[in-house]
Structure 1
Amino acid sequence: MRPLKLDEDIRPLSEFRAEIASFVKQVNDTKRPLVLTQHGRGAVVVVDIAEYSAMRDRLETIDDIAASRAQLAAGEGVSHDEAKARVLGRLA
């Protein structure tokens, strides 16, 4: 995801409501998120669907890594040799 351009990518919700199509096009074209404010505070972020999907994939990978580390710390892991033997055993 590309970084925000503060002068272009932060808009009030009222402006977004009035020009939804142009803002959706901006997000799709630039691949940058659009921050919408309400009463002067950040309210929501509009993100391109492909960028959102990529973020979800990265978060799932990070969650998997964290779970793996926790399992290893709890002694639930197996050695490389054992894992290799299990895989080769299933393939045979």
Structure 2
Amino acid sequence: MQIRLIEDVRPLSEFRANAAAFVEQVQATHRPIVLTQHGRSAAVLLDVGEYERLTERAEVLEDIRLAEEQVARGEGVEHNEAKRQVLARLRR
């Protein structure tokens, strides 16, 4: 999701005057719009589908980080044991 600075960074005052058009742009392009206030970034307008994908990715990355910590602490389960546990649950 590449941001195009000339199209996707806009002042908050312009958003207030054209909110519906901004929402249409985000839905059509699937690119976020960065809203600025007093020349500084203030907020991001993001398509709902893109937001859901972003949060899902963040959740997966957090799960991976947690799993890596657990393995580093020696709390991991060997592959064969994990497979046995999963298959046992599926058979119930």
Do the structures match in fold with TM over 0.5?
yes
Mind listing any 5+ residue stretches in structure 1 that lack a counterpart?
A: none
* 1:43-72 deviation per Cα after TM superposition (whole angstroms, max 9, x unaligned): 000000000000000000000000000000
The alignment's TM-score, normalised by the length of structure 1, stands at: 0.93
Please name the residue that 1:55 is paired with.
54
Q: Distance in 2 between matches of 1:88 and 1:18?
A: 58
Count of residues in Structure 1 that have an aligned counterpart in Structure 2: 91
**Amino acid in structure 1 at the alignment position of 2:37:** Q
Give, as a single letter, the amino acid of the residue that structure 2 aligns with 1:42.
Answer: S
Which one has a larger percent helix, Structure 1 or Structure 2? 2
Q: Secondary structure at the match of 2:41?
A: strand
SS at match of 1:7: helix
TM-score, scaled to structure 2: 0.93
Match of 2:74 in 1: 75
Structure 2: 5+ residue stretches without partners: none
Paired AA for residue 53 in structure 2: A
1:87 Cα shift? 2.5
1:39 corresponding residue in structure 2: 38
Give 1:34 shift.
0.1
Post-superposition CA distance 1:8-66 (Å, at most 9, x none): 00000000000000010000000000000000000000000000000000000000000
